[in-house]
Each structure stands twice: as structure tokens, then as C-alpha cells.
Amino acid sequence: MSRYQLKVTGDLFFSRAALKQERLVRVATLLIDTGSSYTIISWQALESLGIDPAVSKIRRSLMTANGLIQVPEVRIEEFHCFGKMLKAFPLVAHTIPLGGEVTGVMGMNFLRQQATSLDFMRATIEV
């Protein structure tokens, strides 16, 4: 297992991930959220990779502060984070209200792909 330092803002942990689709690569800043079933990426980030979430036939249910919503699921060619590369990785598209620096949320569909240990006191993750 390798250990990675997480960025801390207030009580929140963040990491970076690389999203690759065809020849395009985007670096995303993701909020680590063990309460989220899915990894969520902003519509704008997906569109910048040539992915149009609106045409996806797959919809997932997300519980938000405003209630249950349906959001499109897309697959990205490659998702790179914490030294791991996942192919055809599913992401859901949603508006990200955390400000311009945050591209999305890293959910359990990534974290459960491998042995993962979060150290909340040291703000580290072992993968």
C-alpha cells in the first residue's frame, strides 16, 4: 500500500485525479466523500473532455439536500488517482456547488475498488 497526503480545507479532505478521454486529459480536484455511493464530476469537466452527459441513457439516483434526483451516468476511458488507473470507470454528472476549484466528489465506487485506509488525524489515505 502507498500513502498519500490529502489536502485539507476546514474539515474536508480533497485529492486530485486525472480524467482521460481519447487524447484529452483533465486534472480534477475531488472532495473525498465516504457518504457518496458514486464519484461525481461536474458537467463542465465532462463536456471539456468531449462527453455529453445529457445523451446518456443510464440514470442514477442521488440524495441531495433538495431531495432525490436522477443524474446521468457516463463512463470515462481512464480514471487515475492514488497510483491506480481504472478503465471504463463510471462517473455521474451533476452541478458541483463547492466553488470553481472543486471539480467533483470521489465516492465509494472508487474507494471500494481497492484496499483503502483513511487516517483522519493525519489527513492521509493508504491505497
pLDDT at 93: 97
Q: What is the pTM of this model?
A: 0.92
Report residue 101 as a C-alpha cell. Answer: 476549484
pLDDT at 100 over 80: no
> Reduced to 3 states, what is the DSSP secondary structure of residue 10?
coil
DSSP letters spanning 92-116: EE---TT-TT--EEE-HHHHTTS--
Rounded CA separation 82/80 (Å): 7
pLDDT at 64: 81
Q: CB of 105 within 8 A of CB of 40?
A: yes
Please, what are the domains in the chain? Answer: 3-126 (2.40.70.10)
pLDDT at 98: 62
Neighbouring residues of 57: CB distance < 8 A, sequence distance ≥ 6: none
pLDDT at 4: 97
Q: Grid coordinates 462527453 are at which residue?
A: 51
Q: CB of 60 within 8 A of CB of 70?
A: yes
